[in-house]
């Protein structure tokens, strides 16, 4: 039976590139559906939660559509992939917009990059290619060489309280958690759908991951 992959659509940003990349790597192994229906997300075999924009707007959209609870439930019960803002909202609180409460699945903060570190200037947002050092072995990294390049666009980064949550680390003025993993949840700050072969391999690994 063909499995169903739900891509969460909460009305923020163009998510078609994520859907197209998943359809490409899934071939006929899965049906990929972009949906704003909590019922469809609850029925899906696996869930992808992409996102962009501001944390406050993201959380407001999730609450307004009733999808905050179904996302929490999906992250507790089935293979779950968070991308970009979909990674950040798993934390407790973000500095963005004067402070925004997030989904709170994992204790930790989302903090803004510093523009000046030890006299060196860093453009914020970080925009472009950077490496991900794999800090734990994980099925979603299968076939992806350590320190492979991925494409990033973000001004804020995740700072989990539990260091064992980190699955990947990237340097941009500071070392930050660019991927986290716990049980059936994997989340990554970069955009795998824009990250050439390494990103497509990660998405393909997710399609076949049993969580």
- Per-residue pLDDT tens digits for 12-68: 767 899 999 999 999 888 999 999 999 999 999 999 999 888 899 999 999 988 889
- Dist CA 55 CA 112 (whole Å): 12
Mean of pLDDT over the chain: 95
Domains of the chain, by residue range, sit at 3-207
Residue 31, pLDDT score: 96
Which residue is listed with tokens 């990349």? Answer: 21
Q: Is 193 a catalytic residue?
A: yes
CATH class of the domain at 3-207: alpha beta
Which member of 39, 169, 191, 208 is catalytic?
191
Annotation says 84 is catalytic? yes
**pLDDT number for residue 11:** 80
* pLDDT digit string, tens, across residues 132-163: 999 999 999 999 999 999 999 999 999 999 99
| pTM (two decimals) | 0.96
Give the active site residue among 84, 96, 154, 190: 84
| Set 58, 96, 190, 193: catalytic member | 193
pLDDT (tens digit, 9 = 90+) per residue, 176-193?
999 999 999 999 999 999
* Ramachandran angles phi, psi of 207, nearest 5°: -55, -35
Where are the strands (E) in 20-125, listed by range? Answer: 30-35, 46-49, 80-83, 93-94, 100-101, 108-112, 116-117, 120-121
């Amino acid at each position: 039976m063909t499995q169903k992959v739900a891509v969460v659509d909460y009305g923020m940003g163009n998510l078609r590139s994520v859907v197209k990349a998943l359809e490409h790597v899934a071939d006929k192994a899965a049906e990929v559906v972009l949906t704003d229906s909590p019922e469809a997300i609850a029925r899906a075999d696996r869930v992808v939660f992409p996102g962009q924009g501001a944390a406050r707007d993201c959380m407001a959209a999730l609450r307004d559509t009733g999808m905050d609870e179904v996302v929490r439930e999906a992250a507790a019960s089935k293979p779950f992939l968070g991308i970009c803002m979909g990674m950040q909202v798993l934390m407790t609180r973000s500095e963005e917009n004067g402070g925004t409460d997030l989904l709170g699945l994992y204790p930790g903060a989302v903090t803004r990059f510093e523009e000046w570190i030890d006299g060196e200037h860093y453009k914020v947002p970080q925009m472009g290619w950077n490496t991900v050092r794999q800090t734990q072995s994980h099925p979603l990294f299968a076939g992806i060489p350590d320190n492979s390049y991925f494409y990033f666009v973000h001004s804020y980064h995740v700072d989990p309280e539990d260091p064992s949550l980190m699955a990947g680390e990237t340097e941009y003025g500071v070392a930050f958690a660019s991927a986290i993993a716990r049980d059936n949840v994997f989340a990554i700050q970069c955009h795998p759908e824009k990250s050439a072969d390494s990103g497509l391999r990660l998405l393909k690994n997710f399609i076949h991951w049993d969580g």
